[in-house]
Structure 1
């Protein structure tokens, strides 16, 4: 470490203890942020886990990196420090420090400041450490200097910056020990030669005493001009246009990603006891949701049947592997050449990081996409059930064309995961968008009905050049944003 960096690290340690003067403004500001998980309750504990100044002391503007322990959750903050704010940055103001090392200065959200956002990219271009932070990058992926930054609007659980329409930096807000799947899985897929997911070109982490590194941010290529799968589906619906060709292609892309993940990373077989625990977890989530969502209660017994059937049917266990974990149409992009890419491999941010890194049945991802087609169809007036059914069938057929196995060939597993997803959606909509509760409730009513005998799907014919199914591979939302 250089003498200047060493001095800055010592100053960081001193100022971490002096973060107290910022505490009142942070307590008031945090609950209003879209990515803050503790909405609706007062903050009991707030303390600095680490603090690092990313610019030399006295710089204007200054840039302070914080990791905060807020009632047991760790959050990443990037704070700008200025004597006063220009008009464009006034909406980013957090408060003005009255005492301590930043007395008299304005403290604000730094990612909206082009100068500070550009500085963060420069850190990523130059691997190295700064206090507890470590910056790293792919040496074979050049990142030009001087790219103009702009924030990506409309996010919830994280914050993103686009640089010159060439790269996108995702800054994780709620972080924990261990490699974030949004770094781990795209790197594994890139190493396996799978081009369906943008490969990370740079990233940064925090190294804290007695802890695994915490992934803080990932820089990836920005797929400029791509169509968001959810918005594309809505446009086709609005125009009365078919979407089955796109759904079929998306099924193939999803299968390619699953096959590559199963080849690149360890797979397991969930034995009968593990499968029973999986079903028990679904049953417990159903019971908790029924207590919270009155509209769900009349259907609880019927829904439970899907989970009971899963627990009773898995004599040989369920293949499990690393998966996307939160797949829906809003996590897909159709690029300019007409191909599909999958993005945002973080999984459900509300789940503990260790849970999101465990192997799971691939059908969980498939159930998420199938539910997403239903969400799109029910957002349309009039409701277009045939459109959703056709898209669901085309997606499964596309998946089978790659793996050789149709997800519908395992109806018990698929129904259990679709039911679990619909229960999750009912709780989400009840809490956050009650006007949308009718969408998952329509699926709840359908899924609670007794299962009718179904004609077994014939196996998909082999396709020249298709990927061979991995021995542990098992095929198996409108975005909740």
Structure 2
């Protein structure tokens, strides 16, 4: 999309009550709106309002949800003449995403409320505010956003947030003052909660620590408001701009294709194993940099972790009776795994982790022959405070191992030995690059303690998958069932 910047003064903003009344039905139809099928239990209100420029506003809208509960929705807006609204629509997106027309008795004429993500003026004002606040890694990124705002392209695949691509100018069109930085992608967070967003905090920490396998955040923004109940100041990350990884393959699609085309000892299998091994090494590097940049903490005891996993296992077996029907003596077999975990002398130090690690969260750039790791938000349905808690790094390893199972099934692996071979290659790469704990310094990897911990965490992940598939994709439940059976036979 290439939308025109404003050439005439912006219309005046309507009263807050009028604005909120108009926004409520529009918000409810957007894919990023978090309360699908629910009606607010009371009127919307403004938790915060920030004027970034002439006709440019950032809004934080409190949507009431039950007694003393609310959801904070981030809605930046730009005022424009009503007949210009269609200019800001992105090709292929749902009708109305670009904004709405407001016509009311209090206005001299109808006006357009343009969603800020779609309007160049918002991004120019956003970049200027980030520079003023110092929330940048150098000035080039923010300058580039301001320079490229007229060429912004809103992506159509995002659901919980809104992403906007800011492409770099071609060499022949670049001016002498263009920032020397490649393509950028800006993620506008739609649902905010007090505290740092892990996708911003972790990405910034990894970039500052010098890790080049993450999209480098070049600028970000925060919003600060007063809690209506206590008056306490609250802050949340609102948007982040990162370097874009173009011409890269989605990890899940890539491994599915390699599974389906597997040729045993041929070049396709060789490539799959090399990619899995490098992904394992990349994962270990991620954990090393997470520990270096964000520190380590004392872990829970093995018994405490086993107790938490036991509760989750009971929940899964209650939610999905098919588990015990299809897997005889499942409860006893799960308990055997968790008892072995509880008997360990100690766990490794806890660190920040990815939290939602699978093949769909990595990209492979062929030109650079490297993996990139995306989206450090953790599981979106978990509370923000939980997603920011240190955890066992092997939880990420378990998540990726389970993802290989899905790639084998969805890709229809041509040979039954593809999955164990790829899993082994991933683990070989991980153990070769992972820091060696003192207690296993002279032993082969993994140590018996590491193998026990990983086995328990992978079982926990597979049980969670069974619940997810039973609720959302019952035709896929055979994948976690097979995984649980394989894990319990190790």
Question: Structures share a fold, TM > 0.5?
Answer: yes
Paired with 1:213 and 1:232, the residues of 2 have a C-alpha distance of 39
Match of 1:321 in 2: 351
TM-score by length of 2: 0.77
Contact 1:280/1:307 (8 A) holds in 2: no
Paired with 2:130 and 2:105, the residues of 1 have a C-alpha distance of 29
Larger displacement relative to structure 2 (85-94 or 144-153): 85-94
Match of 1:203 in 2: 220
Match of 2:339 in 1: 309
Match of 1:478 in 2: none
Q: Secondary structure at the match of 1:270?
A: coil
Q: Secondary structure at the match of 1:122?
A: helix
Contact 2:350/2:391 (8 A) holds in 1: yes
Match of 1:156 in 2: 159
Contact 2:30/2:97 (8 A) holds in 1: no
Q: Secondary structure at the match of 1:92?
A: coil
Which deviations, in whole Å up to 9, do the C-alpha atoms of 1:59-107 show, x marking residues without a partner? xxx6653333342222222345552432873442665545487784454
Correspondence list, 1:330-409, <5 A = 330-335=360-365, 336-381=367-412, 384-403=415-434, 405=436, 406-407=445-446, 409=448
Match of 2:249 in 1: 227
Paired with 1:23 and 1:136, the residues of 2 have a C-alpha distance of 29
Larger displacement relative to structure 2 (87-96 or 336-345): 87-96
Match of 2:74 in 1: 76
Match of 1:7 in 2: none
Paired with 2:129 and 2:462, the residues of 1 have a C-alpha distance of 44
Larger displacement relative to structure 2 (143-152 or 298-307): 298-307
Paired with 2:254 and 2:391, the residues of 1 have a C-alpha distance of 29
**Residue 466 (structure 2) pairs with residue 437 (structure 1):** no
Match of 2:49 in 1: 51
Deviation at 1:278? 2.9
**Residue 319 (structure 2) pairs with residue 292 (structure 1):** yes
Q: Secondary structure at the match of 1:69?
A: strand
Which of 403, 427, 440 lines up with 2:467 in the alignment? 427
Deviation at 1:270? 1.7
Q: Secondary structure at the match of 2:363?
A: strand
Residues 164 and 94 of structure 1: CA distance in aligned 2, closer, same or farther (over 3 Å): closer
Deviation at 1:288? 2.7
Paired with 1:96 and 1:290, the residues of 2 have a C-alpha distance of 50
Paired with 2:75 and 2:187, the residues of 1 have a C-alpha distance of 13
Paired with 1:346 and 1:172, the residues of 2 have a C-alpha distance of 11
Paired with 2:23 and 2:121, the residues of 1 have a C-alpha distance of 26
Match of 1:282 in 2: 309
Larger displacement relative to structure 2 (168-177 or 406-415): 406-415
Question: Root-mean-square deviation (CA), in Å?
Answer: 3.0
Paired with 2:157 and 2:361, the residues of 1 have a C-alpha distance of 14
**Residue 290 (structure 2) pairs with residue 261 (structure 1):** yes
Structure 2 residue runs of 5 or longer lacking an equivalent are: 1-11, 90-94, 169-182, 227-231, 263-267, 437-444
Residues 53 and 33 of structure 1: CA distance in aligned 2, closer, same or farther (over 3 Å): same
Which of 97, 105, 120 lines up with 1:92 in the alignment? 97
Residues 292 and 189 of structure 1: CA distance in aligned 2, closer, same or farther (over 3 Å): same
Deviation at 1:172? 1.4
**Residue 59 (structure 2) pairs with residue 65 (structure 1):** yes
Contact 1:68/1:76 (8 A) holds in 2: no
Q: Where in structure 1 do 4 or more consecutive aligned residues deviate above 6 Å?
A: 100-103
Which deviations, in whole Å up to 9, do the C-alpha atoms of 1:428-480 show, x marking residues without a partner? 22233233222222213333x4x45xxxxxxxxxxxxxxxxxxxxxxxxxxxx
**Count of paired positions:** 423
Which of 175, 187, 201 lines up with 2:204 in the alignment? 187
Deviation at 1:422? 1.4
TM-score by length of 1: 0.79
Deviation at 1:162? 0.8
Match of 1:474 in 2: none
Contact 1:126/1:135 (8 A) holds in 2: no
Structure 1 residue runs of 5 or longer lacking an equivalent are: 1-10, 453-481
Residues 189 and 401 of structure 1: CA distance in aligned 2, closer, same or farther (over 3 Å): same
Paired with 1:48 and 1:444, the residues of 2 have a C-alpha distance of 47
Deviation at 1:24? 4.5
Paired with 1:354 and 1:129, the residues of 2 have a C-alpha distance of 28
Deviation at 1:203? 0.5
Q: Secondary structure at the match of 2:338?
A: helix
Deviation at 1:309? 2.4
